[in-house]
């Protein structure tokens, strides 16, 4: 008999359901008796004992379904050691629920913050396996996270649609793409969508260089320009500020997002007609694309294999096309950023894409 707990934490994305399905199918195909406990709303369910026993039927027909059948919530890692408003010790509460159910393992699906808490639970003696979820693709130790490619598809489609209206009205369009502190999603969607300028957090921009790239296109007879801008894009001036100074500046920002700030500066310098499109959370919505269905199924099956072996304390990553257990202690708390000197950046520059630097 195997007793497994499962939870999805942090922001939702495509393929969470598909990944849980992969775990359950991998276990049910190899174990006669299994109990699966699903915790609702991520770590909150584990803390407050909000769960129910699930059967293999609950995971049938969800390969293509977006979101998460268990629900999710954000429980910041930095607050995990801080008692709740009633004085409850969250870590001890999670351990209590784990031991009360006599679980063999917790399967935890989530991003960087979720991973850090998973590692904390490992340090507290619990058997855990982490599965890397995020549209940001910023989890260290895996080449790819599930949800990323589906979000790339959506963001690329937005840029594709913008092309026609930008061309018709001969305008400059800025498409702001999600990604938190890294630019993987913006980089891939920008290249796939044929953006002319791509601005990433890893490559601080010079507004004059951006304006120059736009004006050069105009002189070449190109009637429009499309900028793919990461939500965390930062100017060279701001990149020189301390974290504290930059946070204070963001708090006093008059514009709702970086894209509007960039648009205003371009308009001031060039007099051009600028439009901003922010697709926002739709990038995390909908069902997983075929790539993510395959990836999540493989990661889920690999997690099941680790559970059957009784080997815990790992993240299941995808490394060089192969699923691989990676020790949580080696990856938790680390961020995978875009390397400004990587071949993909150089190749994008080779075809004329400007990174505003």
DSSP states of 184-240: HHHHHHHHHTT-SEEEBTTB-B-HHHHHHHHHHHHHTT---EEEEEETT--BHHHHT
Tell me: the pLDDT tens digits for 133-187? 999 999 999 999 999 999 999 999 999 999 998 888 888 999 999 987 899 999 9
- 121-131 pLDDT per residue, tens: 999 999 999 99
Confidence of residue 344 (pLDDT cuts 50, 70, 90): very high
The Cα–Cα gap between 346 and 348 comes to 5
pLDDT over 90 (residue 328) = yes
User: Hey, where are the domains in the chain?
Assistant: 2-147+288-331, 150-284
Domains 2-147+288-331 and 150-284 share a fold: yes
* pLDDT of 223 over the 90 cut: no
Span 35-62, pLDDT tens digits: 999 999 999 999 999 999 999 899 999 9
Residue burial 38-73, b: 16+ Cβ < 10 Å; e: rest: bbbbbbbbbbbeebeebeeebbeebbebbbbbbbbb
Contacts of 203 (CB under 8 A, 6+ apart): 183, 338, 340, 345, 355, 356, 357
pLDDT of amino acid 234? 93
The pLDDT of 236-263, averaged and rounded, is 85
Is residue 39 classed as helix, strand or coil in its secondary structure? strand
Tell me whether residue 264 is exposed, middle or buried, using C-beta atoms within 10 angstroms of its C-beta: 0 to 12, 13 to 18, 19 or more.
middle
User: What are the tokens at 255?
Assistant: 């514009």
Q: What is the pLDDT of residue 151?
A: 97
Distance CA 209, CA 226 (A): 15
Dihedral (CA of 196, 145, 37, 54) sign: positive
Query: What residues pair up with 176 in beta bridges, in sequence order?
Result: 229
If one counts every other C-beta atom within 10 angstroms of the C-beta of residue 94, the result is: 24
pLDDT at 46: 97
Catalytic residue numbers, as ranges = 136
Q: Which fold has domain 150-284?
A: Rossmann fold (3.40.50)
At 129 the three-state DSSP class reads strand
pLDDT at 286: 94
Is the pLDDT assigned to residue 356 strictly greater than 90? yes
Chain-wide mean pLDDT for the chain? 94
The Cα–Cα gap between 100 and 129 comes to: 19
CATH 3.40.50.450 fits 2-147+288-331, yes or no: yes
């Amino acid at each position: 008999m195997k007793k497994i707990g499962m939870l999805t934490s942090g922001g939702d994305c495509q393929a969470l359901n598909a990944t849980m399905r992969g775990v359950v199918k991998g276990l049910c195909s190899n174990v006669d008796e299994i109990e699966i406990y699903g915790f609702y709303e991520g770590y909150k369910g584990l803390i407050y004992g909000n769960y129910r026993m699930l059967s293999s039927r609950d995971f049938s027909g969800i390969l293509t379904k977006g979101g998460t059948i268990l629900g999710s919530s954000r429980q910041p890692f930095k607050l995990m050691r801080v008692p709740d408003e009633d004085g409850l010790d969250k870590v001890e509460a999670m351990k209590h629920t784990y031991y009360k159910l006599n679980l063999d393992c917790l399967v935890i699906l989530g991003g960087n913050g979720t991973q850090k808490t998973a590692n904390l639970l490992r340090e507290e003696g619990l058997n855990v396996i982490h599965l890397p979820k995020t549209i940001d693709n910023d989890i260290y130790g895996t080449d790819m996270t599930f949800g990323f490619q589906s979000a790339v598809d959506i963001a690329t489609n937005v840029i594709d649609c913008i092309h026609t209206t930008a061309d018709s009205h001969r305008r400059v369009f800025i498409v702001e793409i999600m990604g938190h502190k890294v630019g993987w999603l913006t980089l891939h969607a920008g290249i796939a969508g044929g953006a002319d300028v791509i601005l990433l957090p890893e490559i601080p921009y010079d507004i004059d260089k951006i304006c120059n790239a736009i004006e050069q296109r105009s002189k070449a007879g190109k009637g429009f320009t499309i900028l793919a801008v990461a939500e965390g894009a930062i100017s060279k001036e701001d990149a020189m500020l301390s974290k504290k100074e930059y946070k204070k500046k963001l708090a006093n920002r008059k514009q709702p997002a970086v894209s509007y700030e960039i648009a205003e500066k371009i308009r001031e310098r060039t007099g051009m007609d600028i439009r901003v499109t922010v697709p926002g959370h739709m990038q995390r919505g909908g069902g997983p694309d075929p790539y993510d269905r395959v990836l999540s199924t493989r990661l889920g099956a690999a997690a099941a294999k680790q559970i059957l072996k009784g080997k815990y304390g790992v993240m299941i990553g995808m490394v060089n096309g192969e699923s691989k257990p990676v020790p949580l202690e080696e990856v938790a708390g680390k961020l995978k950023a875009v390397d400004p000197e990587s071949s993909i950046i150089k190749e994008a520059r080779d075809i004329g894409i400007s990174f505003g630097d």
